[in-house]
């Protein structure tokens, strides 16, 4: 088609639009899939962080409860016997008897030192006794190295804070803080219920500083920490019959408050004794606490870290309820891949579009080829019909008007008319036969008969066609080949062989050797019929389009032998339709040689397989 480029331009334009739209959709789907995967990954990480915070609070609660349960008088190096555990209830202790503080012994886990700010501001420690108490404690209850270590810790605490500074950071309790006693008095269980006023380092302030999504979860952990600590504190404190149990709101003046003094973590509280206020606490082993808490969550967050929470203005996300610590954990790096379902969906979509584009392109190619074949057919048939019709018109007009009176010349004109009629008949027969094959209709039926019976009816017709062209037909076949039973369509074989001989007559007419050979030989399970001439043969270009229908243009038909390029295409279709095969034999010394293989009749209980050429 002269304007086929318009069809292809429209096709490529439409394909570009479709591919662009599909590409945009694919990018959007990939982005949504990645966003969903990222949200799912972050949600999973947040869930791990939540579980890790619960574990850490559960692990830190016993430490706070243990230190909160210590009686206030345990912060003295030696105690009067009437205040010692157990003897205050028996009434058998001597007034001048002294008993060592339980803090003189081995330090509990995660504690470096104990300290107490006296009402006058002095900093003391039960592990650094002064005066006569030092001689009683060292080395009987305390080693000199342990005492020196306690003194070093006290010196560091003196540099970090004084009594006033530390008291300002502890929560205030109204009414006054609960004094820890061993023998409870009759009282209203709710008389000591206190509501601590939030300070800068109090859990209430920390909760207010939490992100909105973590506020409720932090509140739940804070309540659970208070309840668990109260239970542990109650279990670790000596309780007399009838003594009221502590509730979470009673802990305002009992619980230790965790604080940061520089880079050191301490627990501190206010206590009332003999009408005076003391600040008591302990210096914690922060590196050991950090390592222990990280080990608690190593299976959930291998890269977890802990950072101090120094003020309420600092980001309080992922804060522990038990200690002023913030959990730091970075989600695993997102690999950026897309899910298998999305990949499958996109693969199906792209495959479908590409297959559809290929199908449309193939359809366009078929339409264009069909249009070209139709144009070539019309041009070739028009040229083939023009010559014999012109001859018919001229010769019949001359004969009808009596312009040719010589009987010999009349016979010559009539022979020419007969030859042109035969030529037109073959042309029409080939076109009709090819049309039947294109519609899927077979030309005759397959029979089983000896090869000699197949060739006998058509030998004379082939010889007459060769004689008409001034050539000689030579038949070459042995008795074994002629006796072979073949399965074929006799009418189709006659048409194929006649077209092959007719082509040889047209294209080898100028050869010196005027012979056309038809030979037959058996080879395995097939019989080979070979039609060979001594003409100029075929070029490689002509051989490539040899079996294409209507491959000869009108220009080629005008400058070569007449024909429309349909004979060999029809022969190939007829051969394949009856289970045979036709091909051009390569390597012949001269001329063209075509081979037609026919299947031999199947022996009983044995299937036939065609042999390769």
What pLDDT, on a 0 to 100 scale, did the predictor assign at position 386?
A: 73
Q: How far apart are CA 607 and CA 613, in angstroms?
A: 19
Judged by DSSP in three states, 241 sits in coil
Tell which wins on pLDDT, 491 or 83: 491
Confidence class of residue 284 from pLDDT cuts 50, 70 and 90?
very high
Confidence class of residue 613 from pLDDT cuts 50, 70 and 90?
very low
- Measure CA 441 to chain center: 50
The residue extents of the domains of the chain are 42-182+198-328, 360-599
The residues with which 517 forms a beta bridge, in sequence order, are 474, 532
Confidence class of residue 247 from pLDDT cuts 50, 70 and 90?
very low
Judged by DSSP in three states, 387 sits in helix
What pLDDT, on a 0 to 100 scale, did the predictor assign at position 315?
A: 58
pLDDT over threshold 70, residue 591: yes
Nearest residue to 519 (alpha-carbon basis) of 418, 426, 601, 588: 588
Q: Which of 260-264, 299-303, 321-325, 421-425 has the lowest mean pLDDT?
A: 421-425
pLDDT over threshold 90, residue 250: no
Angle in degrees, CA 15, 19, 23, rounded to 5: 175
Q: At CB < 8 A and 24+ separation, what contacts does 84-89 make?
A: 85/182, 85/238, 88/182, 88/183, 89/182, 89/183, 89/240
Averaged pLDDT, 303-316: 78
Q: How far apart are CA 613 and CA 85, in angstroms?
A: 114
Judged by DSSP in three states, 471 sits in coil
Q: Which of 211-220, 314-323, 342-351 has the lowest mean pLDDT?
A: 211-220
SS (H, E, C) 166-211: HHHHCCCCCCCCCCCCCCCCCCCCCCCCCCCCCCCCCHHHHHHCCC
Averaged pLDDT, 220-228: 79
pLDDT over threshold 90, residue 214: no
Q: Which residues contact 266 (CB under 8 A, 6 or more apart)?
A: 157, 258, 259, 260, 281, 282, 283, 284
Averaged pLDDT, 6-10: 85
Q: How far apart are CA 14 and CA 24, in angstroms?
A: 15
- What proportion of the chain, given as a percentage, has pLDDT over 90? 22
Query: Could you report how far apart the first and last alpha carbons of the chain are, in Å?
Result: 38
Residues 166/268, Cβ–Cβ less than 8 Å = yes
Confidence class of residue 603 from pLDDT cuts 50, 70 and 90?
low
Nearest residue to 206 (alpha-carbon basis) of 356, 53, 74: 53
pLDDT over threshold 70, residue 96: no
What pLDDT, on a 0 to 100 scale, did the predictor assign at position 407?
A: 84
Confidence class of residue 332 from pLDDT cuts 50, 70 and 90?
confident
Q: Which of 24-33, 50-59, 187-196 has the lowest mean pLDDT?
A: 187-196
pLDDT tens digits, 362-384: 988 888 877 777 776 676 667 66
Q: Read off the pTM.
A: 0.53
pLDDT tens digits, 509-566: 888 888 999 999 988 888 999 999 988 888 777 777 777 776 655 455 544 555 566 7
pLDDT over threshold 80, residue 175: no
What pLDDT, on a 0 to 100 scale, did the predictor assign at position 420?
A: 77
Mean pLDDT of the chain: 78
For the domain made up of 360-599, give the CATH fold: Heat Shock Protein 90 (3.30.565)
pLDDT over threshold 50, residue 184: no
Tell which wins on pLDDT, 311 or 22: 22
pLDDT tens digits, 109-120: 899 999 999 999
Q: What's the Cα-to-Cα distance from 125 to each of 82, 107, 135, 536, 561, rounded to whole Å? A: 21, 13, 15, 123, 126
Averaged pLDDT, 310-318: 69
pLDDT over threshold 60, residue 245: no
Phi, psi of 512 (to 5 degrees): -70, -40
- Measure CA 146 to chain center: 63
Q: Which of 322-331, 509-518, 555-564, 586-595 has the lowest mean pLDDT?
A: 555-564
Tell which wins on pLDDT, 81 or 210: 81
């Amino acid at each position: 088609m002269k304007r086929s480029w318009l069809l292809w331009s429209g096709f490529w334009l439409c394909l570009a639009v479709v591919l662009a739209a599909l590409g945009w959709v694919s990018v959007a789907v990939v982005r949504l899939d990645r966003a969903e995967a990222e949200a799912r990954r972050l949600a999973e990480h947040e869930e791990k962080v939540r579980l890790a915070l619960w574990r850490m609070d559960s692990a830190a609660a016993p430490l706070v409860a243990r230190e909160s349960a210590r009686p206030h008088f345990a912060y003295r190096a030696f105690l009067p016997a009437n205040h010692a555990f157990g003897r205050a209830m028996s009434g058998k202790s001597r007034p001048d008897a002294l008993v060592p503080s339980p803090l003189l012994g081995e330090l509990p886990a995660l504690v470096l030192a104990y300290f107490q700010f006296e009402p006058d501001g002095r900093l003391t420690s039960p592990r650094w006794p002064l005066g006569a108490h030092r001689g009683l404690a060292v080395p009987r209850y305390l080693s000199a190295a342990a005492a020196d270590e306690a003194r070093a810790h006290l010196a560091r605490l003196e540099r970090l804070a004084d009594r006033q500074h530390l008291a300002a950071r502890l929560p205030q309790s109204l009414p006054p803080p609960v004094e820890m006693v061993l023998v409870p008095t009759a009282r209203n269980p709710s008389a000591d219920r206190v509501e601590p006023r939030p300070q800068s380092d109090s859990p209430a302030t920390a909760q207010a500083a939490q992100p909105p999504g973590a506020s409720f979860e932090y509140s739940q952990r804070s309540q659970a920490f208070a309840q668990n600590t109260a239970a542990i504190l109650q279990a670790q404190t000596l309780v007399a019959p009838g003594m009221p149990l502590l509730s979470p709101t009673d802990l305002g003046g009992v619980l230790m408050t965790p604080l940061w003094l520089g880079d050191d973590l301490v627990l501190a509280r206010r206590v009332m004794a003999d009408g005076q206020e003391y600040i008591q606490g302990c210096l914690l082993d922060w590196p050991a606490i950090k390592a222990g808490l990280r080990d608690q969550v190593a299976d959930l967050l291998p890269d977890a870290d802990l950072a101090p929470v120094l003020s309420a203005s600092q980001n309080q996300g992922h804060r522990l309820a038990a200690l002023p610590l913030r959990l730091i954990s970075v989600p695993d790096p997102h690999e950026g891949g897309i899910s298998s379902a999305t990949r499958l969906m996109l693969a199906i979509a792209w495959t479908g579009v590409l297959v559809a584009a290929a199908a449309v392109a193939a359809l366009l190619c078929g339409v264009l080829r069909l249009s070209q074949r139709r144009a070539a057919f019309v041009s070739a048939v028009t040229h083939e019909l023009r010559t014999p019709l012109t001859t018919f018109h001229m010769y019949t007009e001359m004969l009808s008007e009596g312009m040719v009176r010589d009987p010999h010349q009349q016979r010559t004109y009539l022979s020419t008319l007969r030859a042109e009629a035969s030529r037109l008949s073959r042309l029409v027969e080939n076109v009709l036969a090819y049309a039947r094959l294109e519609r899927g209709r077979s030309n005759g039926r397959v029979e089983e008969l000896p090869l000699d019976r197949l060739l006998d009816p058509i030998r004379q017709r082939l010889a007459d066609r060769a004689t008409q062209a001034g050539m000689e037909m030579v038949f070459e076949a042995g008795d074994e080949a002629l006796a072979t039973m073949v399965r074929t369509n006799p009418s189709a074989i006659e048409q194929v062989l006649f077209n092959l001989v007719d082509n040889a007559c047209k294209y080898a007419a100028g050869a010196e050797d005027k012979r056309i050979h038809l030979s037959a030989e058996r080879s395995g399970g097939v019989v080979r019929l070979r039609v060979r001439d001594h003409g100029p043969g075929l070029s490689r270009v002509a051989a490539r389009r040899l079996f294409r229908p209507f491959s000869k243009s009108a220009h080629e038909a005008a400058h070569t032998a007449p024909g429309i390029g349909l004979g060999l295409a029809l022969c190939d279709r007829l051969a394949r339709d009856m289970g045979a095969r036709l091909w051009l034999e390569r390597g012949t010394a001269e001329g063209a040689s075509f081979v037609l293989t026919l299947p031999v009749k199947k022996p009983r209980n044995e299937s036939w397989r065609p042999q390769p050429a």
